[in-house]
Amino acid sequence: MSMDFIGKMQHVTMVKDWKWNGPEVVRNSPPDDVLRQIKPDSNGIIHSEYTVVVLHRDSKGSILKSESFTAKDVVPASLLKSLKESSKEPLEKRRN
């Protein structure tokens, strides 16, 4: 990334009244407990699908156009296992 791009991004995040004028993007992924039920491939990777919905709104927030598509995702099974184990630890222990 160029420094010019990074500088612009920093500026945009600091402006109080800046508003996103692009589409709203919603990703609907299966929950972790559903992903854990999928058998990993020989490399320990879980393959799943998720849905993406792109909403184009007018200035009043009404939906002008909606697009939807399915995409594929890959997640290491070891990551899901570590997330499950860390969620069982008391919050105080995770902070240390």
Query: Which pLDDT tens digits describe the chain residue by residue (96 residues)?
Result: 566 777 777 777 777 776 777 899 999 999 888 888 899 999 999 999 999 999 999 888 899 999 999 999 998 988 877 766 655 555 455 444
The label of the residue with tokens 């699908």 reads 49
As for how many domains the chain has, the answer is 1
Residue 75 near residue 50 (C-beta atoms within 8 A)? no
- Residues forming a β-bridge with 66: 55
Single-letter amino acid code for the residue at 64:
L
Tell whether 79 is covered by a domain.
yes
Whether 50 and 28 have beta carbons less than 8 Å apart is answered as yes
pTM: 0.59
Beta strand ranges found along the chain (DSSP E):
24-28, 45-57, 63-76
Q: Could you list the residue range(s) of the whole structural domain that residue 51 is in?
A: 28-95
- Each residue of 4-27: pLDDT tens digit? 777 777 777 777 776 777 899 999
Let me know if residue 62 belongs to a domain: yes
